[in-house]
A = this chain, B = another copy of it.
């Protein structure tokens, strides 16, 4: 069922499962996996109590897996769009801009839902493999962009992993510092590394 809420927040015109997934992705990113209760997801998504187990029979673990897929797409979409021009530096900047915007709009509360799940044990999250798949998806896509621009295959794979790890880490450092200096510095160095690898 598609419920269109006119005049509401952007992108709220989606079904209940989708609303819960979006809220979970946002809250896991902001407050951590264990720091986010299902009650908060329900309240944030303005969905009916009890509907979580209707929509996510696997409970919080299934919700986390869906939230990770959603969070992974939120990065992959703008990065992939920018990568279509063939310039890996443009794709890098789309990635950095995604986080710079999210951090600034949220007063440095935004964070990575993938990271939030990755840093808690599987016994707690039940979503470790989804986090690994998200990291692999980002790295493989960026490695393909690097390779298409002339970087050798193994170097592309290493640089792509560096980019994933450094951006995930820089978002955490930026949150702790409450400024985007770390993201800016990491961006400059990644750009230099990519340019050096292409020449």
Contacts and interface: CB of A to CB of B under 8 A. Distances in A.
Interface of A: 30-35, 109, 111-112, 114-121, 124, 128, 131-132, 135-136, 157-159, 161-162, 164-170, 172-173, 175-178, 181-182, 185-186, 188-190, 192-193, 196
Contact of A176 (B135, B172, B175, B178): B135
Nearest to A68: B176
Contacts of A109: 121
Contacts of A166: 162, 165-166, 169, 186
Identify the interface centre among A119, A157, A168: most chain B CB within 10 Å of its CB.
A119
B162 A168 contact: no
Contact of A169 (B165, B178, B181): B165
A35 B124 CA distance: 8
B118 A175 contact: yes
Contacts of A112: 119
A83 B10 CA distance: 51
Nearest to A115: B172
Contacts of A35: 32-35, 120-121, 124
B169 A185 contact: no
A157 B173 CA distance: 14
A178 B133 CA distance: 12
Contact of A119 (B111, B178, B193): B111
Identify the interface centre among A166, A170, A177, A182: most chain B CB within 10 Å of its CB.
A166
Contacts of A175: 118-119, 128
A196 to B, nearest CB: 6
